Amino acid sequence: MSTMTISLPDGLKTFVDEQVSQRGYGSHSDYVGELIHKEQERERLRALLLAGVESGPGMPADAAYFDALRDQVLQSAPPRAKT
C-alpha cells in the first residue's frame, strides 16, 4: 500500500474530522478511500449511461417486452423434474 500526504484548508480538515467521527470511520484514510471508490463507481456508471445513449434507440420495455422475455427464458430453461 502506498502513502499519500495531502494538504487541506482548515475548514475542509474540520469537515473530514467530523465525517470520520460521526460516520465511524477507522481513520481519515478510510474516509478518503471510500470517497475515491464512490467517484470510481460514479465514473463507471457515467460511462455505461453514455454508452447506452450512443447505442441508438432502444425498444420500449412495456408489458409485451417482458412477456416475450419471460417466454424466451422459459423456452431455454431445462425441464423441471416431476416429484
pTM of structure:
0.64
What amino acid is encoded at 53 in this protein? V
Please determine, for residue 15, whether its predicted confidence score (pLDDT) is greater than 90.
yes
Amino acid at 62: D
**Predicted pLDDT of residue 77:** 81
Chain segment 22-50, per-residue pLDDT in tens: 999 999 999 999 999 999 999 999 999 99
Q: What is the DSSP letter of 7?
A: -
pLDDT at 81: 74
pLDDT at 80 over 80: no
Chain centre to alpha carbon of residue 8: 28
Render pLDDT for 48-73 as a digit per residue (tens, 0 to 9): 999 999 998 888 899 999 999 999 99
Identity of the amino acid at 36: I
Say if residue 83's pLDDT is above 80. Answer: no
Which residue ranges make up each domain of the chain? 10-76
